[in-house]
Amino acid sequence: MKNTTETRRPKKRLLRKILLIGFALAALAITVGATYVGTYRPAQRPALELQVERTADRVERGRYLVENVTGCVQCHSDRDWTLYGGPAKKETWLGGGECATEEQGFPGVLCVPNLTPDDETGLGRWSDGEILRALREGVDRDGRALFPMMPYDDYRHLSDRDAAAIVAYLRTLEPVFNPRPETDIEFPVSFFIKTIPEPLAGPVEAPGPADTVRHGELLAKVAGCEFCHTPIDERHQPLPGMAFAGRPNPRGPFGTVHAPNLTPHATGMGSRSREEFIGIFKAFSSADNAAIEVEPQDNTPMPWADFAQMTEGDLGAIYDYLRTVAPVDNPVVVR
Ligand code: HEC
Ligand code: HEC
């Protein structure tokens, strides 16, 4: 009788060999893969070597964009949520915003950085070219990909003139000393975000003054209207065919509030006129209406007081553009 263990032995040895080779290959693949993942650098070009001239006009244009249009102030400042729309606190203007942490279910630590010219904790040591590149091309001084909560993908549409104006304005700010932890995003998210930055291919021009629809489209992007008013899936991607159709409950230090449908459908802006639309914003432009005290559950993430200072031309252009987006039947009850 054959000993079954004997017949098995050679097979066992073969199996062990196959397993060993398998392990070796897997280890090799992991090493190569990890090296690739670890050293993969986001697409980038060297920061431009230029110095933005700080003329009064340019600084004023930059102030307007940063405070009233592009939302930099809302993310990069500490905000007062006892007031309607959570205006930024003047003392720490652009000195750094909120932090997202693991305890809140975020994959790592991310504090919205200080944009004031403080040497230690702000942009004091950054060149103008480095700030421009971070703003529109999504990498920091060292070429690290910025977490895409920083909407550089939208800001890449800012014209060269407007981007330079923003830099000129940031340079005039009072430095705020505000040390915070460095951004630390966990794998695999850290890898995916490296694939997002994309260098600009050439100069970016603003649309001509007569093209209000295209101008409004650009404003709706850089002002975050599209972001807040478009529903997303669980991977934070905008739902196809639902642009501006209303977004359920963007989370924050306010009660449950849904962003309404801004499309031309009857469940959206319907027959609202251009004047009415501009009027909704302008209602918040007086000093009293820019500082309305509210309970947290009655607050809103929409920075009404900041947008109220947008020019009628810009608000009108946003309206003209919103009339051209696909009407979507989507009733939204705001509260
Ligand atoms: C929706 C929130 C949000 C808005 C709006 C926003 N940012 Fe940011 N920004 C961030 C976050 C978050 C980071 C940090 C990303 C990281 O570290 O990976 C950042 C990073 C930056 C950096 C890199 C600074 C550093 O120290 O690494 C610059 C420069 C910057 N933003 C400028 C701007 C400007 C200028 C505007 C307005 C035109 C703006 N941001 C609007 C969230 C925002
Ligand atoms: C941070 C998120 C956020 C941003 C950015 C944002 N919205 Fe809103 N918006 C909301 C929410 C939430 C509401 C509902 C609560 C309220 O009225 O404030 C709202 C309400 C509105 C309303 C309804 C007002 C009414 O009385 O019916 C209009 C119109 C509007 N947004 C237009 C815009 C436009 C245009 C922009 C860009 C310039 C914009 N929103 C940017 C979140 C946002």
pLDDT band per the 50, 70, 90 thresholds, residue 19:
low
pTM over 0.85: yes
Atom in ligand 2 nearest the alpha carbon of residue 304: 18
Atom in ligand 2 nearest the alpha carbon of residue 258: 12
Structural domain count of the chain: 2
Query: Does residue 233 share a domain with residue 222?
Result: yes
Please indicate, yes or no, if residue 37 is contained in any of the structural domains.
no
pLDDT tens track for 59-117 = 999 999 999 999 999 999 999 999 999 999 999 999 999 999 999 889 999 999 999 99
Atom in ligand 1 nearest the alpha carbon of residue 141: 27
So what's the pLDDT on residue 4? 41
Query: Does residue 59 share a domain with residue 199?
Result: yes
Please indicate, yes or no, if residue 19 is contained in any of the structural domains.
no
pLDDT band per the 50, 70, 90 thresholds, residue 40:
confident
- CB contact at 8 A, 10 and 2: no
Query: Does residue 198 share a domain with residue 73?
Result: yes
The ligand minimizing its distance to the Cα of 216 is 2
Compute the average pLDDT of residues 183-199: 95
Mutate to test the pocket of ligand 1, among 63, 123, 142, 146 (most ligand atoms within 8 A of CB): 146
Domain end, chosen from 188, 206, 224, is at: 206
Q: Ligand 1: distance of its center to the CA of 140 in Å?
A: 10
pLDDT band per the 50, 70, 90 thresholds, residue 332:
very high
- Among 184, 191, 179, smallest CA distance to 101 is for 184
Please indicate, yes or no, if residue 92 is contained in any of the structural domains.
yes
Compute the average pLDDT of residues 180-199: 95
Q: Ligand 2: distance of its center to the CA of 264 in Å?
A: 15
Query: Does residue 296 share a domain with residue 218?
Result: yes
Domain residue limits at 278: 207-335
Query: Does residue 56 share a domain with residue 169?
Result: yes
- Distance of alpha carbon 313 from alpha carbon 274, whole angstroms: 11
Q: Whose CA is nearest to atom 9 of ligand 1?
A: 150
Q: Is the pLDDT of residue 31 over 60?
A: no
Q: Is the pLDDT of residue 156 over 70?
A: yes
Query: Does residue 151 share a domain with residue 57?
Result: yes
- Distance of alpha carbon 95 from alpha carbon 48, whole angstroms: 25
The ligand minimizing its distance to the Cα of 149 is 1
Query: Does residue 310 share a domain with residue 256?
Result: yes
The ligand minimizing its distance to the Cα of 137 is 1
The ligand minimizing its distance to the Cα of 118 is 1
| Rounded (10°) CA dihedral 205, 209, 210, 216 | 80
So what's the pLDDT on residue 249? 78
Query: Does residue 212 share a domain with residue 139?
Result: no
Query: Does residue 332 share a domain with residue 190?
Result: no
Atom in ligand 1 nearest the alpha carbon of residue 147: 18
Compute the average pLDDT of residues 252-257: 80
- Distance of alpha carbon 27 from alpha carbon 35, whole angstroms: 12
Domain end, chosen from 206, 224, 240, is at: 206
Please indicate, yes or no, if residue 4 is contained in any of the structural domains.
no
So what's the pLDDT on residue 95? 98
Please indicate, yes or no, if residue 186 is contained in any of the structural domains.
yes
Give the pocket of ligand 1 (CB within 6 Å): 66, 70-72, 75-76, 110, 112-113, 115, 131, 134-135, 140, 146-147, 149-151, 155, 166, 183
So what's the pLDDT on residue 168? 98
Domain end, chosen from 160, 180, 206, is at: 206
Q: Ligand 1: distance of its center to the CA of 259 in Å?
A: 23
Q: Ligand 2: distance of its center to the CA of 259 in Å?
A: 6
pLDDT band per the 50, 70, 90 thresholds, residue 14:
low
Q: Ligand 1: distance of its center to the CA of 156 in Å?
A: 13
Query: Does residue 196 share a domain with residue 225?
Result: no
Q: Whose CA is nearest to atom 16 of ligand 2?
A: 300
Please indicate, yes or no, if residue 247 is contained in any of the structural domains.
yes
pLDDT band per the 50, 70, 90 thresholds, residue 18:
low
Q: Ligand 2: distance of its center to the CA of 260 in Å?
A: 7
Please indicate, yes or no, if residue 21 is contained in any of the structural domains.
no
Q: Is the pLDDT of residue 313 over 60?
A: yes
* CB burial string 43-68: b at 16+ within 10 A, e below: ebeebeeeebebeeebbebbbbbbbb
- CB contact at 8 A, 109 and 99: yes
Q: Ligand 1: distance of its center to the CA of 225 in Å?
A: 17
pLDDT tens track for 195-211 = 999 999 999 999 988 99
Q: Whose CA is nearest to atom 40 of ligand 1?
A: 72
- Distance of alpha carbon 49 from alpha carbon 52, whole angstroms: 10
- Distance of alpha carbon 277 from alpha carbon 279, whole angstroms: 5
- Distance of alpha carbon 214 from alpha carbon 207, whole angstroms: 7
Please indicate, yes or no, if residue 35 is contained in any of the structural domains.
no
Q: Ligand 1: distance of its center to the CA of 145 in Å?
A: 11
Query: Does residue 217 share a domain with residue 169?
Result: no
Query: Does residue 335 share a domain with residue 217?
Result: yes
